[in-house]
Amino acid sequence: MGRVLPRSFYARPADVVAPELLGCIVESETPEGLVAVRLTEVEAYAGEDDPASHAWRGPTPRTEVMFGPPGRLYVYFTYGMHWCANLVCASDGVAAAVLLRGGEVVAGEGLARARRGARPPVRRLASGPANLASALGLDGSWHGSDVTAASGGLRVRRGRAADADEVIAGPRVGVTRAVDVAWRFSLHGDPTVSPPRPRAG
């Protein structure tokens, strides 16, 4: 396994950090066991300059973690039933985060499957931001967690670096503002990338 990504990795703009996270491993360890996901799809969100970001209108109780130091987890609850997880980026005082949109379960498949209500095929276990959070067992109690501590319950490890021509950039999914910004990054043709998925070929 690769080494745990240091805080300095996250202390850069979200659109720089995001593509470098592709191929990295997110690991959650709880009393239930360990689940690891290799990231195949992420999205960058900036702060007050990005109208699609939750942090656009300045800090609120919900978003203040995004304005804090990098390397922590921003978890939010949406559509009345789903949790989504972000990694906080940029320097302390500057809002930025990378939304974890999808990945491939590489360890703890049984536990990940047990956490998902439905019975999806393996490729869909962590495909989509709410599904990924669910597979890792992430919810509001993880909000603000430090992901740079090797002893913490949540870690991100450097994986095999993605080749530049494997990475696809496109518009972000599910947003109605700043749709022209190509800050969604995914691994070309990977079956775990959530729709709309670029077709291979």
Residues that bind DNA (CB under 7 A): 43, 45, 52-55, 57, 60-63, 66, 74, 77-82, 84, 86, 97, 99, 116-118, 120, 124, 128-132, 172-177, 194
**Could you tell me the smallest distance in angstroms from the CB atom of residue 163 to DNA?**
26
**Could you tell me the smallest distance in angstroms from the CB atom of residue 66 to DNA?**
7
Token code pair at residue 100? 């974890």
Among residues 127 and 148, whose Cβ is nearest to DNA?
Answer: 127
**Could you tell me the smallest distance in angstroms from the CB atom of residue 33 to DNA?**
21
Among residues 92 and 163, whose Cβ is nearest to DNA?
Answer: 92
**Could you tell me the smallest distance in angstroms from the CB atom of residue 1 to DNA?**
26
Closest CA to 75 of 122, 136, 16: 136
Among residues 49 and 163, whose Cβ is nearest to DNA?
Answer: 49
**Could you tell me the smallest distance in angstroms from the CB atom of residue 87 to DNA?**
10
Among residues 20 and 41, whose Cβ is nearest to DNA?
Answer: 41
Among residues 131 and 145, whose Cβ is nearest to DNA?
Answer: 131
Among residues 3 and 199, whose Cβ is nearest to DNA?
Answer: 199
DSSP per-residue codes, the chain: -PPBPPHHHHSS-HHHHHHHHTT-EEEEEETTEEEEEEEEEEEEE-STT-TTSTTTT---TTTHHHHS-SSBEEEEEETTTEEEEEEE-SSTTS--EEEEEEEEEEE-HHHHHHHSSS---GGGTTBSHHHHHHHHT--GGGTT-BSS-TTSSEEEE--SPPPGGGEEEEPPSS-SSSTT---EEEETT-TTSPSSPPPP-
* CA distance linking residue 75 with residue 66, whole number of Å: 10
**Could you tell me the smallest distance in angstroms from the CB atom of residue 30 to DNA?**
20
